[in-house]
Chain A
Amino acid sequence: MSDNASATAAADLLAEVADLMVAALNLDNAAGAIDPDAPLFGEGLGLDSIDILEVALAVSKRYGFQLRSDDEDNVRIFASLRSLADHVAQHRTK
């Protein structure tokens, strides 16, 4: 895949994960309005651990892998939409 094609794929996945998050959490934001680099916790989107579990469930159904607390750094995975999308890109089975 050329650099261009892989950049497009990454952007597509970013948009897809944003859609999934908005749907899973019934967010008021339009998916495209989520800043991919803003923190998901606290001052960013203000998600809490219940939301994280909701998103993790949606991710496992859509991309066919389970998130775990012990083998990955959750703080890093859920640092931003981009880091979550990167994690999905690395671990997806479908």
Chain B
Amino acid sequence: MKPRRTALTAHAGPEDIVAWRAAAAVTRDQFLSDVMTLARSLPVGEYLLNTCEDRYRFMVGFSAALVAGKISLLPASQSMATVRQLAASYPGLFCLHDGKGASADVPQLPYPEMPVAVDSAPVPEIEVDRVAVILFTSGSTGLPVAQTKTWGALVRNGRAEAARLGFLDGQGTSFAIVGTVPAQHSYGLESTILLTLHGGCALWHGRPFYPADIVDALAAVPRPRLLVSTPFHLRALLESQVGLPATDMMLSATAPLSAGLAREAEVRLGGTLIEIYGCTEAGQLASRRTGETVRWTPLADIRLDQQDGVTFASGGHVDGRQRLGDVIELGDDGTFLLHGRHADMVNIAGKRTSLAYLNHQLGAVTGVEDGCFFMPDDGTDESITRLAAFVVAPTLMPRQLLDALRGRLDPIFLPRPLVFVDRLPRNATGKLPRAELKALLAKHAKAAP
């Protein structure tokens, strides 16, 4: 049987713009010419470590690997130890780079000088069942776990995302993508490279870092503009005193975004902010307009189901039935609420909840300005470890707060002790380091009579 194939890119016209460089736009024909030039100069090895920092060059390297029948490896880090480990596990590994290169002794291929395209080339067709990339997640043992993605799955993921964002409406509107996330990360790969190849977009070649860089990059591309970013970069952008160019759409992923920050981003950038939910194992699964709703809507063809409190994703681009590491509350209409990672699961006397859920309930009590639950390390004796909570609530009496919590929580989760403080020891990213909370609890225990 003839293998099924899908085009490398859905950009239909030879003059379609697929990327923006500082000097000029890159047409589809020039892109295909660059891909074929690079594909011809790839060494014999089967595995490509693509460390290009320039997003356009990364896309050319990724595409050349597809055309040449090679597999792109996308490790979470490019540290010397990681590259050595990869080289040992994947014989024939070589590194495509556009700067300093990989730091271990794998063969290096500097990104070549590209000739100007002279004629129009046909768009290569790639077998959908072929492994296109291997991403790596940190496994529970600390060793990286390989996640293989076929070309067909990547395209379906990219198309599902593009459809959700309204890019496949037949109007032919091409968004210019500015990404602050690396193309080597699953979210960056899906939302910058695949949205370009199969969502009709054109990507900005750079990866801006500082707020001023992001502003410059946005200003360098035509509207409509799409900023692919994270809560952290968005907050830095909004807090910095720089003028913000009109940005028609913003994507955020990798960490939860608050509704307040989402609304501020929409007002100040003048566009729509969409948050994406997914994981490296299953790819992108759902989205929400965070400024308007807390509920997530699965992408087309994605199904979630639950068994014994664990949620599984299937359908669409998801390979088989993938177990999700998050606490999810499924609604009857298929939308869902996200209650945090299983990593913050709390199990007391056989009853389970998550710290994220408890913190949400605590924060919802009128008069609570800030607060968090804390699970002390398990004691060595048989006694049941109880939760502690820290709260900033200057107008509340402890009894009032406990009564309010009793109405919201199973009594087993009521905090003992409940510690009133002036402020929580939040770090620069707004997180509460466990060590800080531990110290706060110890201080309280010492001060207690």
A interface residues with partner B (beta carbon < 8 Å): 24-26, 49-51, 53-54, 56-57, 60-61, 64, 66-70
Contacts and interface: CB of A to CB of B under 8 A. Distances in A.
B212 A53 contact: no
A69 B427 contact: no
Contact of A67 (B210, B216, B428, B429): B210
A57 B240 contact: yes
A54 B211 CA distance: 11
How would you classify the secondary structure of chain A's contact residues: helix, strand, loop or mixed?
helix
Contacts of B240: 57, 60-61, 66
A51 B428 contact: yes
Contact of A50 (B208, B211, B242, B429): B429
B428 A66 contact: no
Contacts of A67: 210, 212
Contact of A68 (B212, B241, B425, B428): B212
For this complex, into which size category does the number of interface residues on chain B fall?
10 to 19
Interface in B204-240: 208-213, 216, 232-233, 236, 239-240
Contact of B428 (A24, A60, A61, A69): A24
B337 to A, nearest CB: 28
Contacts of B241: 60-61, 64
A21 to B, nearest CB: 10
B211 A57 contact: yes
A61 B210 CA distance: 13
A69 B429 contact: no
B338 to A, nearest CB: 23
Given A24-B428, A68-B213, A53 B242 contact: no
Contacts of B427: 25-26
A54 B429 CA distance: 8
B239 A66 contact: no
A69 B239 contact: no
A51 B209 CA distance: 12
A69 B209 contact: yes
A69 B180 CA distance: 13
Nearest to B208: A69
Given A26-B428, A49-B209, A51-B428, 14 more contacts: A25-B427, A25-B428, A50-B429, A54-B236, A54-B429, A56-B210, A57-B240, A60-B240, A66-B210, A66-B212, A66-B242, A69-B209, A69-B210, A70-B213
Nearest to B235: A57
Nearest to A51: B428
Q: Which of A53, A54, A68, A69 has the most CB of B within 10 A?
A: A53
